[in-house]
């Protein structure tokens, strides 16, 4: 799966996120983790605050799939949250490919907390939710009781 987040204006943080996606897609999993961690370590607190504020204000969840220009602008206005969530997902997927399943499970679980984040897929001009993707991965990877 080739996935990328490309807003209209790219911050350094977003450029690192794109580099992490590129490393994941190139199967350079250690590099993907390194890039993802750079974004997570520097920005996870701010992303958590954005998530908490949106939840506290009972803001409706942003849509997935194709969206209007207004919705697109609204989603991109939460770039910090989007980048951090994307990086948690990239890290988890890389850990999974490296067969570090327990670490992947923990990282996917962290991803599920950022429910307002969206990632843009330029190939089909749609948005997807890392939180929802991580929930699916958790169901897939966790042993059944």
pLDDT value for 9:
56
List, for the chain, all residue ranges whose pLDDT scores fall below the cut of 70.
1-10, 143-145
Q: What is the pTM of this model?
A: 0.90
* Residue range 12-141 in CATH 1.10.10: no
Q: Name which of 83, 92, 96, 104 is nearest 39 in CA terms.
A: 83
* Domain definitions of the chain by residue range: 12-141
Q: How many C-beta neighbours within 10 Å does residue 134 have?
A: 25
Yes or no: say if 92 and 107 are a contact pair by the CB < 8 Å rule: yes
9, 134 Cβ separation under 8 angstroms: no
Q: What does the pLDDT read at residue 23?
A: 98
CA dist list (Å): 131 to 8, 10, 31, 65, 110: 23, 22, 22, 14, 9
């Amino acid at each position: 799966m080739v996935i990328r987040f490309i807003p209209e204006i790219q911050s350094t943080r977003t450029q690192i996120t794109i580099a992490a996606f590129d490393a994941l897609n190139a199967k350079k999993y250690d590099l993907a983790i390194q890039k993802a961690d750079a974004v997570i370590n520097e920005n996870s607190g701010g992303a958590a605050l954005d998530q908490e504020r949106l939840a506290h204000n009972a803001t409706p969840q942003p849509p997935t799939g194709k969206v209007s220009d207004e919705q697109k602008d609204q989603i991109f206005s939460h770039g910090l949250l989007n980048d951090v969530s994307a990086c948690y997902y990239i890290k988890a997927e890389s850990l999974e490919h490296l067969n570090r399943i327990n670490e992947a499970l923990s990282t996917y679980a962290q991803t599920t907390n950022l429910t307002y984040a969206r990632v843009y897929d330029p190939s089909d001009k749609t948005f997807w939710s890392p939180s929802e993707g991580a929930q699916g991965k958790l169901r897939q990877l966790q042993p059944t009781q």
